[in-house]
Amino acid sequence: MSSSDAPAHGPLRSFGRIKSRALKPRQAALFDTLLPTIAVPDPAAGPIDPQALMPGAAQVWLEIGFGGGEHLAEQASRHPDALMIGCEPFLNGVGSALRHIEERGLKNVRLHADDGRDVMAALPDASLDRVMILFPDPWQKARHNKRRLLQDETAAEIVRLLKPGGRLRFVTDWKDYADWALERLERTPGLAWIAERADDWREAPADHVVTRYEEKKLGDTPPIFLEFVRT
């Protein structure tokens, strides 16, 4: 690993590019107008209180790596009484999410346009009802596996953040990443895999939202759905 790959502190970056093309004018404008009003406070400034982000929220969900924001916006629309915290370092994805939020008039979404692990570290114990990790960067090459978002440390942090009975959903369309994630999640104290039969990981949960990314079928397997509960 070169010195440029080794940060002075914190985990290795688990995502690739942060921007691919110029933002569309409307999306760029939303970075200046909408994002400041719904941005999660800077995690480096201190602890983040979810109830301060949305007083009276019945639940708090965290989506790490929301892509284009389609899933995040749809879940927020279905659950207007729940606070949806979404994290995504890819700026074009953030721009897309801002458009969805504006078009739907959503008031229960808060965004962090950077690494979701920073927000996780700033959230209090047992503060989340659900954590969603959908189609994270697979880092297929063995020498890059250390960059995968799902590590033992991430799994332990999820346990810390979930309320008893809270749920984790991990979805990938790469077989190796599914095996990797399952191995780490099953050995993490405080998490229990709820699958009872093969269809439980082969078939999408009833509340799953299919996104444009999923429809592209870029992986080497149909989506694998891993659902865990905080014991």
Task: Kindly report, residue by residue over 50-88, the tens digit of the pLDDT.
Answer: 999 999 999 999 999 999 999 999 999 999 999 999 999
In a domain, 212, yes or no: yes
188 within a domain of the structure (yes/no): yes
Q: Assign residue 82 a region (left: φ > 0; alpha: ψ between -120 and 50; beta: otherwise).
A: beta
- Is there a binding annotation on residue 177? no
Residue 93 in this model has a pLDDT that exceeds 70:
yes
Contact 69, 43 (CB under 8 A): no
pLDDT at res. 6:
36
Asked whether residue 63 is marked as a ligand-binding residue, the answer is yes
Residue 35 counted as domain residue? no
Asked whether residue 30 carries a pLDDT value surpassing 70, the answer given is yes
Task: Average the pLDDT over 216-229 and give the result.
Answer: 97
pLDDT recorded at residue 207: 97
Per-position b or e across 159-184, b if 16+ CB within 10 A of its CB: bbbbeeebbbbbbbbbebbbebbbeb
Structure tokens at 10: 């914190």
As for how many domains the chain has, the answer is: 1
213 is in an annotated binding site: yes
**33 inside domain:** no
Q: What is the dihedral of CA 165, 156, 64, 150, to 10 degrees?
A: -120
> Is 173 annotated as contributing to ligand binding?
yes
Average of pLDDT values for 84-108? 96
- pLDDT of res. 115: 94
Domain of 113, CATH number, reads: 3.40.50.150
**The model's pTM:** 0.90
58 or 17, greater pLDDT: 58
Binning pLDDT at 50, 70 and 90, where does residue 20 land? low
| Residue 19 annotated as lining a ligand binding site | no
Instruction: Assess if residue 141 is contained within a domain.
Output: yes
Query: Which among 148, 229, 133 is positioned nearest to 188, based on CA atoms?
Result: 229
pLDDT band per the 50, 70, 90 thresholds, residue 24: confident
Which residues are catalytic, by number?
Answer: 137
pLDDT confidence of residue 10: 52
Establish if 6 belongs to a structural domain. no
Least confident of 64-78, 114-128, 130-144: 130-144
Within a domain: residue 5? no
- For residue 61, tell me if it sits in a domain: yes
Which range of residues forms the domain containing residue 174? 50-230
CA 48 to chain centre: 17
| Confidence (pLDDT) at 86 | 98
User: How far is 139 from 155, CA to CA, in rounded Å?
Assistant: 18
